[in-house]
Amino acid sequence: MPFANYKFPEGILDHARKEEIIHRTTAMFVEYFGEGVRAYSMVLVEEVADGGWGRADETLTLEKMGLPSRHASPNPA
């Protein structure tokens, strides 16, 4: 059973984008392994809380990645 697990910062993907990731990943599995794997393919799209993941011994946040924080004020003083 082909399996893909994607993790994204919480709130940066809407439902349509998640659905696109699932469809395109499934299509890739079918391209590589044949149509028979479609029914057994699993794609998991998870959201991780801001600051809840890291790379190279550093905690990543939306701010560090240059992305707008969901909790940021639209008009900073």
Number of domains observed in the structure of the chain: 1
Q: What is the pLDDT of residues 4-58, one digit of tens each?
A: 999 998 888 999 999 999 999 999 999 999 999 999 999 999 999 988 888 899 8
**DSSP secondary structure string, 39-65?**
GG-EEEEEEE-TTSEEETTEEE-TTTT
Q: Give the whole-angstrom CA distance, residue 58 versus residue 30.
A: 36
Residue range of the domain that includes 43:
3-60
The reported pTM is: 0.77
Domain-embedded: residue 66:
no
Domain-embedded: residue 51:
yes
Domain-embedded: residue 71:
no
Domain-embedded: residue 70:
no
Burial class (CB within 10 angstroms; exposed 0-12, middle 13-18, buried 19+) of 29: buried
Q: What is the CATH number of the domain that holds 22?
A: 3.30.429.10
